[in-house]
Every structure is written in structure tokens, then in C-alpha cells.
Amino acid sequence: DNDVGNNSVLSFSLLWDACDAFTIDVDSGIVELAGIVDFETQRECILDVEVSDSGSPVLSSNISFVINVQDVNDNPPVFD
């Protein structure tokens, strides 16, 4: 069954960000890059997210997920 009222109002929080480069929208749960990640120094970022409802009592759940960083050519060309 679908939740109604306060039970259906969810909020999201970023509990841990291994790269210290991401943010999460508290209302939608959309994760966005807010800093710099570099493939040469860290090839993956692990995020721990918690979602909570607004019911009484408050119910929550956590999830961890991995973001794989891809390499791009971020070095300027060198000419001899």
C-alpha cells in the first residue's frame, strides 16, 4: 500500500562521502557532484545515504553505493 500524509514525506541525507565531492538534495535524493574527483588519485567514490519519512515514529533506511570515476584527458598537450 502507498504511504499517505507525513509517512509519505521523505528526506535524504548524505551520511558519508569517501571523495568529499558530492551533495544530495534533501527533498528529491538527487546526488550531484559538488567538488573535484580525479581518476588518478581515486577511482571510485563510496556514498552512504539515509532516507527517512516524517511519520511518528520516524522510519529510516540506509544504502551504500559506489560511483566509478572515469578517466578523461585532463592534461594539456606538450609540444617539443
* Residues 23, 34 contacting (CB under 8 angstroms): yes
User: Per-residue pLDDT for 1 more than 60?
Assistant: no
Q: What angle do CA 56, 5, 29 make, to 5 degrees?
A: 85
pLDDT of res. 78? 86
User: Peptide bond preceding 57: is omega within 30 degrees of 0, i.e. cis?
Assistant: yes
The tens digit of pLDDT for each residue in 21-76 reads 999 999 999 999 999 998 989 999 999 999 999 988 999 999 999 999 998 877 78
> How much is the pLDDT for 63?
96
